[in-house]
Amino acid sequence: MHSNQNSNSTTFHSFEPVTPVSAPLQLTADLRYILGIPHTKLASTAQLLRQQGHCIGERSEDEQTAVIHWMLGHYLRRGIHWRVFAYAELDASDKFPGFPGDES
Protein backbone atom coordinates (compact mmCIF):
# COMPACT_ATOMS: atom_id res chain seq x y z
CA MET A 1 0.00 0.00 0.00
CA HIS A 2 1.12 3.51 -0.67
CA SER A 3 0.79 6.27 1.84
CA ASN A 4 0.19 9.94 1.26
CA GLN A 5 3.20 10.84 3.39
CA ASN A 6 5.95 12.95 1.94
CA SER A 7 8.61 10.68 0.46
CA ASN A 8 11.31 13.02 1.82
CA SER A 9 10.69 11.64 5.31
CA THR A 10 11.80 8.13 4.33
CA THR A 11 14.83 6.84 6.20
CA PHE A 12 16.97 4.12 4.72
CA HIS A 13 18.95 1.86 6.99
CA SER A 14 22.04 0.06 5.83
CA PHE A 15 21.48 -3.60 5.07
CA GLU A 16 23.25 -6.04 7.33
CA PRO A 17 22.58 -9.71 6.62
CA VAL A 18 21.65 -11.91 9.56
CA THR A 19 24.03 -14.59 8.32
CA PRO A 20 27.25 -13.48 6.66
CA VAL A 21 27.41 -14.53 3.03
CA SER A 22 30.93 -15.50 2.02
CA ALA A 23 30.19 -16.52 -1.55
CA PRO A 24 27.22 -16.68 -3.90
CA LEU A 25 25.15 -19.82 -3.36
CA GLN A 26 25.31 -22.05 -6.44
CA LEU A 27 22.00 -23.48 -7.62
CA THR A 28 23.02 -27.14 -7.44
CA ALA A 29 20.80 -30.16 -8.13
CA ASP A 30 20.36 -30.64 -4.36
CA LEU A 31 19.38 -27.02 -3.84
CA ARG A 32 16.94 -27.16 -6.78
CA TYR A 33 15.45 -30.29 -5.22
CA ILE A 34 15.00 -28.68 -1.81
CA LEU A 35 13.57 -25.39 -3.07
CA GLY A 36 11.33 -27.07 -5.65
CA ILE A 37 9.54 -29.64 -3.50
CA PRO A 38 5.76 -29.22 -3.83
CA HIS A 39 3.94 -28.70 -0.55
CA THR A 40 1.76 -31.72 -1.25
CA LYS A 41 4.76 -34.07 -0.91
CA LEU A 42 5.97 -33.12 2.56
CA ALA A 43 3.30 -34.28 5.03
CA SER A 44 5.21 -37.34 6.28
CA THR A 45 8.42 -35.38 6.87
CA ALA A 46 6.47 -32.60 8.61
CA GLN A 47 4.81 -35.18 10.84
CA LEU A 48 8.18 -36.59 11.91
CA LEU A 49 9.43 -33.08 12.65
CA ARG A 50 6.31 -32.43 14.76
CA GLN A 51 7.01 -35.61 16.71
CA GLN A 52 10.45 -34.18 17.48
CA GLY A 53 8.92 -30.99 18.84
CA HIS A 54 8.98 -28.68 15.83
CA CYS A 55 6.04 -26.29 15.86
CA ILE A 56 4.47 -26.56 12.41
CA GLY A 57 1.06 -25.28 11.36
CA GLU A 58 -1.51 -27.63 9.86
CA ARG A 59 -1.75 -26.07 6.40
CA SER A 60 0.27 -27.78 3.69
CA GLU A 61 2.00 -24.46 3.00
CA ASP A 62 3.11 -24.34 6.66
CA GLU A 63 4.49 -27.86 6.31
CA GLN A 64 6.30 -26.89 3.12
CA THR A 65 7.89 -23.85 4.73
CA ALA A 66 9.04 -25.74 7.82
CA VAL A 67 10.41 -28.77 5.96
CA ILE A 68 12.22 -26.72 3.31
CA HIS A 69 13.72 -24.52 6.04
CA TRP A 70 14.87 -27.65 7.91
CA MET A 71 16.29 -29.29 4.77
CA LEU A 72 18.01 -26.06 3.71
CA GLY A 73 19.67 -25.84 7.11
CA HIS A 74 21.11 -29.32 6.62
CA TYR A 75 22.20 -28.46 3.09
CA LEU A 76 23.98 -25.28 4.15
CA ARG A 77 25.81 -27.09 6.96
CA ARG A 78 26.60 -30.38 5.22
CA GLY A 79 26.57 -29.72 1.47
CA ILE A 80 26.03 -32.78 -0.71
CA HIS A 81 25.82 -35.00 2.39
CA TRP A 82 22.74 -33.21 3.75
CA ARG A 83 20.38 -36.16 3.21
CA VAL A 84 22.46 -38.52 5.36
CA PHE A 85 22.36 -36.10 8.28
CA ALA A 86 18.70 -35.23 7.72
CA TYR A 87 17.71 -38.91 7.81
CA ALA A 88 19.84 -39.42 10.92
CA GLU A 89 18.18 -36.48 12.66
CA LEU A 90 14.73 -37.80 11.79
CA ASP A 91 15.72 -41.23 13.10
CA ALA A 92 13.27 -42.39 10.46
CA SER A 93 11.64 -45.77 10.89
CA ASP A 94 10.92 -48.25 8.13
CA LYS A 95 7.48 -46.62 7.79
CA PHE A 96 9.00 -43.33 6.59
CA PRO A 97 8.71 -43.34 2.78
CA GLY A 98 11.74 -41.10 2.35
CA PHE A 99 11.98 -37.70 0.83
CA PRO A 100 10.06 -37.15 -2.42
CA GLY A 101 11.92 -38.80 -5.28
CA ASP A 102 14.15 -41.00 -3.11
CA GLU A 103 14.67 -44.54 -4.33
CA SER A 104 13.30 -47.18 -1.99
In a domain, 52, yes or no: yes
In a domain, 28, yes or no: no
In a domain, 61, yes or no: yes
Residues of the chain scoring pLDDT < 50: 1-3, 104
13-23 tens-digit pLDDT: 566 655 666 77
Quote the pLDDT of residue 71: 93
Quote the pLDDT of residue 91: 73
Residues whose CB falls within 8 Å of the CB of residue 100, separated by 6 or more in sequence, listed in order: 37, 38, 41, 42
State CA 78 to chain mean position distance: 14
In a domain, 42, yes or no: yes
Give me the domain span that covers residue 46: 37-99
Q: What pTM, to 2 d.p., does this model score?
A: 0.70
Q: Rounded to an integer, what distance in angstroms lies between the CA atom of residue 75 and that of residue 30?
A: 8
Quote the pLDDT of residue 36: 92
In a domain, 85, yes or no: yes
52, amino acid identity: Q
Name the domain count of the chain: 1
Q: Rounded to an integer, what distance in angstroms lies between the CA atom of residue 46 and that of residue 100?
A: 12
